[in-house]
Structure 1
Amino acid sequence: MSTPQSTTQATPASVPSGGLRAGTLGFPEVIGQSIANLSPTFTPSINVTAIAALAGAGTWLIYGLSTLGLLLVSMSIIALSSRIASAGSFFIYISRALGPMAGGIAGWGLIAAYVGTAMGVGAAGVVFVQNAFTAWGINIPSWAVYTIFVGLAWFFSARDVKLSSRLSLAIEAASVVIVGGVLIYVLALHPDHIIDHTQLGLQGVSGKGMAQGMVLGIFSYVGFESAASLGQETRNPLRVIPRAVVWCVILSGLFFMFVAYSMTIAYHDDAAKLGGDSAVLSTLLTSVGASPLGPVFYLIASVSAFSCVLACINSSSRLLYSMGRYQFVHRSMGMVHRTHQTPYIAVAFSSIVTFVVCIAMLGTGPLNTFGYTSTFATFGFLVVYFLVAIAAPVYLKKQGELKTSNVVWGVLGALAMVGAVIGSVYPVPDYPYNILPYLFVAYMLVGAVWLLMLKKRSPQVLEKIEHDLETSDVMTHGKK
């Protein structure tokens, strides 16, 4: 692989000179963005129960296979992020390789992915907050939690991305250490089960349950790539961002496997009981004789949920900023605050959409809101991961740097994402999850129609974009 000699951002000649604050983020802030968007604390709080209900004793293996699948995708992300540094990440990556129309489709899908994740995680935060305060006899309305979460996320994201990324990393690090400490204590209480033959032998595990569980397993990781959205604001991004992406997947995967394995032991290998528990943190603490700490742990989980909402707003706003600068969406999204140098219009738009949809779904309850919006968001991630797996070898071919390994990583990553999509629609899930794939297809068709209208009404816009991408590609990549 060639060593990059220089880096620049892709900026159309038609946009104003003001840009995001460059070179302010280091490795801790960048990996903090990915880890917060992925939100590893969600696995012991809510995700592991859903997978255990399907995969039983194979839950730990689901996380292992999901880690492997997303590492395959991350190889393609690394190939691109080590050569291209820009806000908008996948929108730019895929546009460079497959053309502006494909990039626009990817960007449209990723908007749904990031904003949908913000909605779903915000809803889960409502559950955590209410579980915590109900134990103290206090009722917190859902709308109040949404208001606080989204309002604070808007404030931090619009004011200072470095502050918000460090805050997210600190919150997630503290949460992981605390939850991990409890689970280590669980293993210490069951030394004879550390080598758990039920789990290692996959007793009672069905192929159907494993296939359906893979979809939820991949959802646990979505957002791991969001460090790439900070390419314009990162110091030495062509080196820092690839490291952040791959280490986020590896560290989170190891943590998820440990969580699934040890929590199944805590439930005495009764995966069905784990899968049906709606208050898993309380049960876990009761098993170690620390039940009074239940409300505190739910507060910790709620703070983690907030950090994930914040990371999603950061990511979606940077994507909208890049798309706005290229006029794929309204160009106001490309405006930068004069003082804070953040895409404040895009931040406000992402926050408002998140808040409005969550409030509109109050009647469904926070758990259903979490399920519906998170599933919808996952389709967006799967589409984009598939496209980036294809884009990487195509881009490297254009640069004259394609290797057999790049093709292998791309093909395997794309196949892993196709398998996840098939698992999400067959066997046919119950209503309303059975209609969510079609709603997502309808959403993507709206984006495709918009792009076709843009191509027909303003073909010069796409031509300028393609020319700009080719020109800035030479400057970004440096050595051909």
Structure 2
Amino acid sequence: MSAVSEQAPANRLRKNSLGVGAITFMVISAAAPLTAVAGGTPLGMLMGNGAGFAGTYLIVTVLLLLFAVGYVAMSRHVGNAGAFYAYAARGLGGFAGGATAIIAILSYNAMQIGVMGLLGAATAGLFAGWGIDLPWWVWSFIAVAIVAVLGYRQVDLSAKILTVLVLCEYIVVLVLDLAILKTGGDSGLSAAPFSWSQIVSGSPAIAILFCFAAFIGFEATTIYAEEARDPKVTIPRATYFSVLLIGVFYMVTAWLMAVGAGVDKLLPALQALQDPTTFLFGLSDRYAGTMLSHAMGILFVSSLFAGVLAFHNAVARYIYVSGREKLLPEAIGVTHSVHQSPHVASVIQSVLAAIVIGLFAILGLDPVLALFSWLTNVATLGVIVMMAVASLAVVMYFRANPSTQENTLKTTIVPGLAVVCVKFCKMGDHETGHAAWRRASFLCSR
């Protein structure tokens, strides 16, 4: 396990199948934009720093751009679907790489399966309103089956489906954004949400954790390096586009949500709601009409589905690479003869998801309070750890390979700063953040 091996010609993922747009939408899908805006943003405002949440999104976007600098610099020298694992192995050695691979598999599995619980609960609620009353786990199993088929086939099929779903999510939220912008909101447009006094008000540490969690998935651009067209150009562009598109979208929407309610009226309005996750739908009713709210309700479910499909693709590629690199049995690290997909790894992930969902269903545990809350907390922590490890690996790799044509700012100074920043996010009010996520999960289940 001393180094990352190169891919055997007879066992490769489908090359030249994904462009910048496809990869960008694949990773944005994992971030589930509508889910973050409808669920995470009002909860982050309520339990974090109120109107200052928009300014917090700006800060977190800058921090993740710092991380991306070293991350994409490394991608030009390490084109491997193992991403975090491959970076850790090249920069810190085989032992660190193996440990990172295990964390990656556990983290993305936990995220995908956890979101399956929320997807099942949300879908059950949606269809119950239409007279179809089925248990949450039935819908989760249906989602597992659909995702299993898509994950088994060519990756560009998943990319096309995710592109459509994500575009629909952006459209409905942008319609609301424009409606609020046109009317000037409750008391006129205001830059107050970006003021330092608003950002540091309340519990900014909780706000940072909520903002950070809303981005999870963007870092997966590099796992598609072996399937990208001209990966040395495509992967860096997709990474920067993902961070900027997600960050600007979240920041502007959070600002307009605060303006729509009124900066001074925002927290009282959220506190008055039995379920703060209905806040966005209330704004939609007020500024854009009930038809848009109904569309948002449907797209909330499709947003969750897009997320689980994107995370499934990430998990399958980590498992596949772990088999190819002999961290797991070699029989796992093979690709389909026709689709050139990591089909064995895909099947393993699907079976594991079905087993966990079945276990939670048999034990009668809540799909949101238990399945979603427990597993996504574990996943978020794991991704933060991997980002810190990757940033450190970038510094060590370029120190050991001074002949590479990369400047010191990209390979040492900025990645080193990213390590410090990510470490701060990991340490920032961990217990309070954990409690916030548990309450968020509870509110989402109502």
TM-score by length of 2: 0.88
- C-alpha change, 1:318 and 1:410, in structure 2 (3 Å) is same
- C-alpha change, 1:101 and 1:218, in structure 2 (3 Å) is same
- C-alpha change, 1:238 and 1:329, in structure 2 (3 Å) is same
How far 1:155 sits from its partner (Å)? 0.6
2: CA distance, partners of 1:407 / 1:259: 34
How far 1:430 sits from its partner (Å)? 4.1
1:160 is aligned, of 143, 154, 158, to 154
Confirm or deny that 1:83 pairs with 2:85.
no
Q: What do residues 332-384 of structure 1 show as CA deviations (whole Å, max 9, x unaligned)?
A: 22021222111111101112222332343343423323222211101110111
One-letter code aligned to 1:375: N
Q: What do residues 178-201 of structure 1 show as CA deviations (whole Å, max 9, x unaligned)?
A: 211122112223357453255244
- C-alpha change, 1:424 and 1:170, in structure 2 (3 Å) is farther
How far 1:324 sits from its partner (Å)? 0.6
Tell me, yes or no, if the aligned pair for 1:333 and 1:345 is still in contact at 8 Å: yes
Confirm or deny that 1:263 pairs with 2:262.
no
One-letter code aligned to 1:11: E
Confirm or deny that 1:274 pairs with 2:274.
no
Q: Please, which moves more after superposition, 42-51 or 137-146?
A: 137-146
Confirm or deny that 1:396 pairs with 2:407.
no
Q: What do residues 95-127 of structure 1 show as CA deviations (whole Å, max 9, x unaligned)?
A: 111111111111111112211221233233234
- C-alpha change, 1:419 and 1:33, in structure 2 (3 Å) is same
Where structure 1 has 5 or more consecutive residues not aligned to the other structure, the ranges are 1-8, 435-480
Tell me, yes or no, if the aligned pair for 2:377 and 2:437 is still in contact at 8 Å: no
Structure 2 match to 1:236: 230
SS of the equivalent of 1:361 reads: helix
Identity %: 23
SS of the equivalent of 1:220 reads: helix
1:48 is aligned, of 41, 48, 51, to 41
User: Which structure 2 residues correspond to residues 365-380 of structure 1 after superposition, within 5 A?
Assistant: 365-368=366-369, 369-380=371-382
How far 1:16 sits from its partner (Å)? 8.3
Structure 2 match to 1:182: 176
2:419 is aligned, of 398, 414, 429, to 414
- C-alpha change, 1:287 and 1:167, in structure 2 (3 Å) is same
Tell me, yes or no, if the aligned pair for 2:76 and 2:232 is still in contact at 8 Å: yes
Tell me, yes or no, if the aligned pair for 1:222 and 1:381 is still in contact at 8 Å: yes
Tell me, yes or no, if the aligned pair for 1:125 and 1:301 is still in contact at 8 Å: no
SS of the equivalent of 1:41 reads: helix
2: CA distance, partners of 1:175 / 1:412: 34
- C-alpha change, 1:164 and 1:183, in structure 2 (3 Å) is same
1:98 is aligned, of 69, 92, 96, to 92
SS of the equivalent of 1:278 reads: helix
SS of the equivalent of 1:19 reads: coil
Q: Please, which moves more after superposition, 408-417 or 206-215?
A: 206-215
Tell me, yes or no, if the aligned pair for 1:57 and 1:202 is still in contact at 8 Å: no
How far 1:295 sits from its partner (Å)? 3.5
Tell me, yes or no, if the aligned pair for 1:129 and 1:140 is still in contact at 8 Å: no
User: Which structure 2 residues correspond to residues 78-477 of structure 1 after superposition, within 5 A?
Assistant: 78-190=72-184, 193-196=187-190, 198-201=192-195, 206=200, 209-269=203-263, 270-274=266-270, 276-288=275-287, 290-362=289-361, 363-368=364-369, 369-400=371-402, 401=404, 403-405=407-409, 406-427=411-432, 429-430=434-435
- C-alpha change, 1:358 and 1:287, in structure 2 (3 Å) is farther
1: CA distance, partners of 2:193 / 2:131: 39
How far 1:293 sits from its partner (Å)? 4.4
Q: Please, which moves more after superposition, 323-332 or 122-131?
A: 122-131
- C-alpha change, 1:139 and 1:285, in structure 2 (3 Å) is farther
- C-alpha change, 1:81 and 1:358, in structure 2 (3 Å) is same
How far 1:222 sits from its partner (Å)? 0.9
2: CA distance, partners of 1:381 / 1:281: 28
SS of the equivalent of 1:306 reads: helix
One-letter code aligned to 2:218: F
How far 1:289 sits from its partner (Å)? 5.7
Tell me, yes or no, if the aligned pair for 1:264 and 1:271 is still in contact at 8 Å: no
2: CA distance, partners of 1:371 / 1:43: 15
Q: What do residues 5-28 of structure 1 show as CA deviations (whole Å, max 9, x unaligned)?
A: xxxx9436xx78322222222222
How far 1:145 sits from its partner (Å)? 1.6
2: CA distance, partners of 1:197 / 1:113: 37
Where structure 2 has 5 or more consecutive residues not aligned to the other structure, the ranges are 440-446
Structure 1 match to 2:444: none
2: CA distance, partners of 1:257 / 1:166: 26
2: CA distance, partners of 1:384 / 1:252: 20
2: CA distance, partners of 1:104 / 1:421: 22
One-letter code aligned to 1:66: V
- C-alpha change, 1:231 and 1:139, in structure 2 (3 Å) is same
Q: How many residues align?
A: 424
- C-alpha change, 1:284 and 1:203, in structure 2 (3 Å) is same
Task: Tell me how large the CA RMSD over aligned residues is.
Answer: 2.5
One-letter code aligned to 2:276: D
Tell me, yes or no, if the aligned pair for 1:161 and 1:342 is still in contact at 8 Å: yes
TM-score by length of 1: 0.82
